[in-house]
Amino acid sequence: MAENADNLPRRTLKYHQLRPGMTIQEITELSFSYATLDAETVRFLKANFKGASGVLIGDSGRETVPIAQVKELDQLEAIVDLPADLIIAKVALGLPESLYKRGFLEFKVTDSPDAPAAEEPEPEAPAIAVGSDEAKRAYQERLIQVKTFLETVNPALESRDRASNVIEEMMDRGRAGHFSSKGVESAIAEVTGQNLGSAMQAIAGLKNSDQTYAHCVDMSVILQGCYTDLLEQSGKKVDDLVGRLILVSGFMHDIGKSKLPKEIIDSTVAFAPDSKERIILRNHVTYGAQILSDMGMHKAAIDVAHYHHVKKDTSLLASYPDVPFDVVPSMVRFAAVVDVYQALIGRRSYKKNWVPGKAIDYILKRRNTEFDERMVDRFVASMGKYPVVSLVRLNTGDLAYVLMIAPKEHPERPVVSIIENAQGEMITHHEILDLMVEPDIYASEVVDHYEHYNETEDQAFRIFQSIDVS
């Protein structure tokens, strides 16, 4: 521990708030690359953090060890107890940038008495007023994005089908005892080509995914979209490698099901909570972790497969395997939210139908019992109160599909296209309506598209596909 550091108040700052003269006592947020240490990073840590300690996340919880004992494949969460004589502990000109480049993002610091006061965090940009010139300018940009999004729906649908076939084949081969990562590569190629991300997410909201394979594809594209948002908002860089790792983790999260009888995983009948099928199903998490580690997959993907059913309240029947919630890394906590959300909107036939807006409500109700509440909040912020493809009733009585989520400050003002007027007549000429520039119109409720279209998902999807704004 640094001399007298205990007597000085510690403040938590981001790298860009560091000022010369401050002393770093702890590094409290590290970039994704520390989630599993590689040999080079271990060497770097040992050379530059002599005398400090690392907080590791292990199977039995958090553990603080001297940096000298940190080894490859450890999962490092923070660096604490920096000795005061460490060069890296004294903030000098240029140090914040190099810390950032190295993946150090947030710090606990103490001020030296003569240091200039640190800047307060930048205030958030003021909300754009509804109907303002600024909102109109933003509309032009949103228009282009919405048109591109609509154009990619059909190619994205084809890619989704191919990717879920790949996953099905992979599971079938796995059942016969041959796992290979080739399948994963081609599934990734399918969903990363041609910038299909947001269209793939939209399809996940409208098409059913009764079977494990489409569930895995849909879950992974939602996970990638939302978790990338989360990482970027916390100042982390999401390069191709990280993006692919998130996708792989999603594709493979239920791979352990390939060890189970096909009748169980393809079943459309609900199993009772204490049935033998449910107990068998629970094994998919340990099988999955084993398969992925045998395949030499990244630890982050193994953790997602292993822990995506661990609930915050581990006494819940639905929580397994039996490990403390503390050991569950943040990406897995986030993936757990997405997994439940996708399973709901995927509308397995033995379940009640859930449209995206209702699934968001379901998740919010379990914010504190089943999930990590911070992850729920970030997920809901990414998806919006009315996620893309939600069918909404406007205050005018018209029925519209959401094409782009609303700004955070005005959740009831997404970009929509009206498909039916208040009298229930279908609209043939579709227009894009940005409710941020229409002061008198807003979304007032979410409409269940299954109920509205007599439970036929294909009709809901066909109407969505027919939206033509050219």
Among 190, 339, 420, 434, binds Fe ion (CB under 5 A): 339
Q: Is 303 in the site for Fe ion (CB under 5 A)?
A: no
Question: Rounded to the nearest whole angstrom, what is the least distance from the CB of residue 214 to Fe ion in the complex?
Answer: 11
CB-nearer residue toward Fe ion: 236 or 348: 348
Stretch near Fe ion under the rule CB under 5 A, chosen from 113-121, 187-195, 246-254, 428-436: 246-254
* Contact status, residue 273 vs residue 322, Cβ threshold 8 Å: no
Q: Is 81 in the site for Fe ion (CB under 5 A)?
A: no
Q: Output the smallest distance, CB 308 to Fe ion, in A.
A: 6
Q: Which residues, other chains included, contact 248 with Cβ-Cβ below 8 Å and sequence gap of 6+? A: 184, 188, 220, 297, 298, 301
- Cβ proximity to Fe ion, 111 vs 339, nearer residue: 339
Kindly state whether residue 77 participates in binding Fe ion, applying the rule CB under 5 A: no
Q: Which stretch binds Fe ion (CB under 5 A): 68-76, 81-89, 334-342, 447-455?
A: 334-342
Q: CB 67 → Fe ion: shortest distance, Å? A: 36
Q: Which of 29, 254, 303, 398 binds Fe ion (CB under 5 A)?
A: 254
Query: Per CB under 5 A, does 420 bind Fe ion?
Result: no
**In the complex, minimum distance from the CB of residue 164 to Fe ion, in angstroms, rounded to a whole number:** 13
Helix, coil or strand: residue 468:
coil
**CA dist., res. 227 & res. 235, Å (int):** 13
| Cβ at position 427, least distance to Fe ion in Å | 37
Closer residue to Fe ion, CB minimum distance, 339 or 372 = 339
Peptide bond into 356 cis (omega under 30): no
Comparing CA positions, the residue from 202, 199, 211 lying closest to residue 460 is 202
Nearest to 91 by CA among 65, 64, 118, 125: 118
By the 8 A CB rule, do 469 and 431 touch?
Answer: yes
- Minimum CB distance to Fe ion smaller for 56 or for 223: 223
CA nearest neighbour of 318 among 366, 356, 261, 351:
366
- Closest distance to Fe ion from the beta carbon of 353 (Å): 18
What ranges in 235-372 are assigned the alpha helix state H? 240-251, 262-265, 276-282, 284-294, 299-307, 330-345, 356-365
Q: Does 74 bind Fe ion (CB under 5 A)?
A: no
Q: Interface residues with Fe ion (CB under 5 A)? A: 254, 339
